[in-house]
């Protein structure tokens, strides 16, 4: 009976409204059909839909299927959309508790953590607000004299500092997109000194470890750990966020 229900749900037309498709995938998950649920969520993602809940649920389904690395990638995506998503944070914390690469991977810098936990919209706002304030203060300064001019100068300086901070944040977010973060999805993968399978692995990374993609060549991508280690891994072993 459950199987029949799952088949009926899975047979839902792809042209149905996305909210309906999402609910169907959730229903599959609740009935224990995690493969069907994951397929439903992944179809929504590949159709260009996104939301923190979609990626959270996809991560849960993937974990239930034993795809821990892919689950971590999904939760990371949920967190990028909503840096305060408690569910995604909790799942990631649990999933990374016994991370074998923790010592090797190193810790991201404070700035990197702030950039990562700041949403794109918030970063843009944190830049634009002082930007407007800066130009407003400059305009005010242009039209005033005496103490008002001094106050406007001080306000402009403060706003300029805010523009610099917001600009750094925005630049960090842009860099994250330019050099995307990825998660290893293979249970373990050798990291080589060059983009060739003939080279012996220098060290090994494991499922769920975060890396930054720095380039690609053939079937290999160059990855860098927060601690500074670099190397080439098979392209299929990582999933960019």
Partner 1 sequence: MSRRTGSALAAFAAFAALAAASPAAAARAPSVEAVVDRSELGQEEILRLSVRAEASEPPARLDPPATPFDFEIVGSSHSQQSSMTFAGGQIQARHSVQWLLGLAPRRSGTLTVPPFTVTIGSVRLATAPITVKVLPAGKGTRPAPAAPSAPPPAQPPAPAAGWRGWERDLWLDVQVDEKRPWLGEQVTASVFIVSPVGVIGMEGFKPPPYDGFWAETLEIPQRLEPARRMVNGIPVWSFLVQRIALFPTRAGKLTIEPFQADVTVQVLSGNRLFDPFRSVEQVRRRSAPVLLDVRPLPPGAPPGFESVNVGSLSLELAPGERTVPAGEPLALRITARGEGNVRAWSLPPLPPIAGTRRFDPASSERLAPARGRIAGSRTAETLLIPERPGELSIPPLTWPFFDPKTGRYEVARTAGLRLPVTGGDGGSAPPSASAALRAELRPIRAGDPLGRSGPPPWRRLPFAILFLLPPAGFAAVVARERLRERARLDAPARRVRGAERAARRRLSAAARRLQAGDGAGFVAEVERALTGYAADKLGRPVIGLTREVLAATLAGAGAHPPALRALLAALDACDAARFGGAPPGEPLLDAAAAAMTLLEEGVGSRGTEGRA
Instruction: Note the residues at the interface with partner 1 (CB under 8 A).
Output: 2, 18-19, 22-23, 26, 29-32, 34, 44, 48-54, 56-57, 60-61, 63-68, 71, 86-88, 90-91, 94-95, 97, 120-121, 123-124, 128, 131-132, 134-136, 138-139, 142-143, 170, 173-174, 177, 187, 207
**Cα–Cα distance measured from residue 45 to residue 30, given in angstroms and rounded to the nearest whole number:** 20
CB of 99 to partner 1, least distance (A): 12
CB of 192 to partner 1, least distance (A): 23
Task: Give every CB contact of residue 175 below 8 A, 6+ residues apart in sequence.
Answer: 115
In the complex with partner 1, which residue's Cβ is closer, 66 or 218?
66
Which residues in 164-203 are b (16+ Cβ under 10 Å) and which e? eebebbbebbeebeeeebbbbbbeebbbbeebeeeeebee
Q: Which residues pair with 233 in a beta bridge?
A: 221
In the complex with partner 1, which residue's Cβ is closer, 123 or 223?
123
CB of 140 to partner 1, least distance (A): 10
In the complex with partner 1, which residue's Cβ is closer, 42 or 120?
120
Asked if 205 and 146 touch (Cβ cutoff 8 Å), the reply is no
In the complex with partner 1, which residue's Cβ is closer, 143 or 196?
143
Task: Give every CB contact of residue 97 below 8 A, 6+ residues apart in sequence.
Answer: none
């Amino acid at each position: 009976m459950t199987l029949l229900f799952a088949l009926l749900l899975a047979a839902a037309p792809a042209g149905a409204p996305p909210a309906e498709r999402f609910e169907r995938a959730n229903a599959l998950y609740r009935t224990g059909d995690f493969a069907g649920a994951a397929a439903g969520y992944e179809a929504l993602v590949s159709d260009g839909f996104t939301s923190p809940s979609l990626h959270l649920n996809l991560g849960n389904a993937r974990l239930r299927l034993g795809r821990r690395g892919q689950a971590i990638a999904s939760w990371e995506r949920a967190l990028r959309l909503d840096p305060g998503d408690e569910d995604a944070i909790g799942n990631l914390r649990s999933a990374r508790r016994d991370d074998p690469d923790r010592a090797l991977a190193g810790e991201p810098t404070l700035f990197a953590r702030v950039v990562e936990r700041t949403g794109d919209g918030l970063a843009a706002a944190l830049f634009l607000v002082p930007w407007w304030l800066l130009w407003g203060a400059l305009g005010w300064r242009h039209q005033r004299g005496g103490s008002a001019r001094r106050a406007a100068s001080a306000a402009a300086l403060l706003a300029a500092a805010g523009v610099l901070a917001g600009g750094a944040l925005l630049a960090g977010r842009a860099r994250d997109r330019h050099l995307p973060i990825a998660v290893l999805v293979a249970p373990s993968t050798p990291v080589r000194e060059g983009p060739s399978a003939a080279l012996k692995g220098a060290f090994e990374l494991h499922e769920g470890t975060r890396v930054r993609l720095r380039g690609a060549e053939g079937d290999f991508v160059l990855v860098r750990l927060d601690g500074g280690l670099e190397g080439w891994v098979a392209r299929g072993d990582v999933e960019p966020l």
